[in-house]
Amino acid sequence: MAPPKDTAAVTTYGDYELITPQNKLRKALSDRPFDPNDDPVARAERALAELSGEFAGWMDEECDRLDNARQTVKTAGFTNAAKEQLFHAAHDIKGEAATFGFPACAAAADSLCRLIEYAPDATKIPIKLVDQHVDTVRAIIREYTRSNAMELAVQLNKRLREVTDEFLLHENRNRPDVIQSILGPSIVPNQ
C-alpha cells in the first residue's frame, strides 16, 4: 500500500521543533450520537465472554510453558537464554491470569518476575525458590474451584513475596537505588 504524503506543520523554537502532524485519524470521529444500547465496550466484553470457554485450556498451556522453562533452568542452570525463557513465561502469566479468569495466579508470577529481574546474579537464586513459585502457580490453578481457594492463594502469595523480598534485599544490600525499585509501588493508574 502506498503511504500517503506527509504534511506536518513544523514550528521551530530555540532548541526544539513543535510538529503538528496531519491528523489521519480524524476520519474515524463519528457524528452519530452515543447510543447506550450500542456501547462498543459492552460489545467487546460480550465478544470476550464468548471466547472465555478457551481460557482454562490457554492457562494450562501457559503453565506448561512455565514448567518447561523451570526444567530448562534446572538442567542448564541460569544461562541468559534459560533466564529469559523463565522470565518471559512468568511475565505472560502475570499479564494474562486475570483476563483468563485466574487473577490469584498473577501475584505468584509477578513475584517470580521480580526475583529474576532484581537478582544481581541469577546463578545465586535458589532453585528451590523457583520451584516454589512455579508450584504455587500450578497449585492455585488446580485448586481454583475449591471454596477456600482465594484464601489459600492469598496466604501462598504473601509468603512467596516475603521470602523473595528477603532474598532480594539481602542480595541488593549495597544497591540502594535497586532497593528503592524493589519496594516502590506501581505508578500505573487503575483502569
184 is an interface residue for other proteins by CB under 8 A: yes
Which residue, 85, 66, 84, is CA-closest to 141? Answer: 66
Contacts of 171 (CB under 8 A, 6+ apart): 118, 119, 120, 121, 124
27 is an interface residue for other proteins by CB under 8 A: yes
CB of 124 to other proteins, least distance (A): 22
Q: How many CB atoms lie within 10 A of CB 137?
A: 33
CA–CA gap between residue 52 and residue 144 (Å, rounded): 16
53 is an interface residue for other proteins by CB under 8 A: no
56 is an interface residue for other proteins by CB under 8 A: no
88 is an interface residue for other proteins by CB under 8 A: yes
Tell me, by CB under 8 A, how many residues bind other proteins.
Answer: 58
Give the three cell numbers for residue 141.
Answer: 490453578
CA–CA gap between residue 41 and residue 39 (Å, rounded): 6
Of the candidate spans 4-12, 72-80, 150-158, 168-176, the one that interacts with other proteins by CB under 8 A turns out to be 4-12
Of the candidate spans 72-80, 105-113, 147-155, 166-174, the one that interacts with other proteins by CB under 8 A turns out to be 105-113
126 is an interface residue for other proteins by CB under 8 A: no
Q: What is the residue type of 66?
A: L
21 is an interface residue for other proteins by CB under 8 A: yes
- At which residue does the C-alpha cell 532484581 appear? 118
Give the three cell numbers for residue 142.
Answer: 488446580
Q: How many CB atoms lie within 10 A of CB 65?
A: 17
Query: Which CB, 8 or 148, lies closer to other proteins?
Result: 8
6 is an interface residue for other proteins by CB under 8 A: yes
| Torsion over CA: 151, 152, 158, 159 (sign) | positive
Beta bridge partners, 9, equal 20
23 is an interface residue for other proteins by CB under 8 A: yes
Query: Which CB, 17 or 121, lies closer to other proteins?
Result: 17
- What are the residues binding other proteins (CB under 8 A)? 1, 3-4, 6, 8, 13-21, 23-34, 40-41, 43-48, 51, 58, 61-62, 88, 91-92, 94-100, 103, 106, 110, 113, 181, 184, 186-188, 191
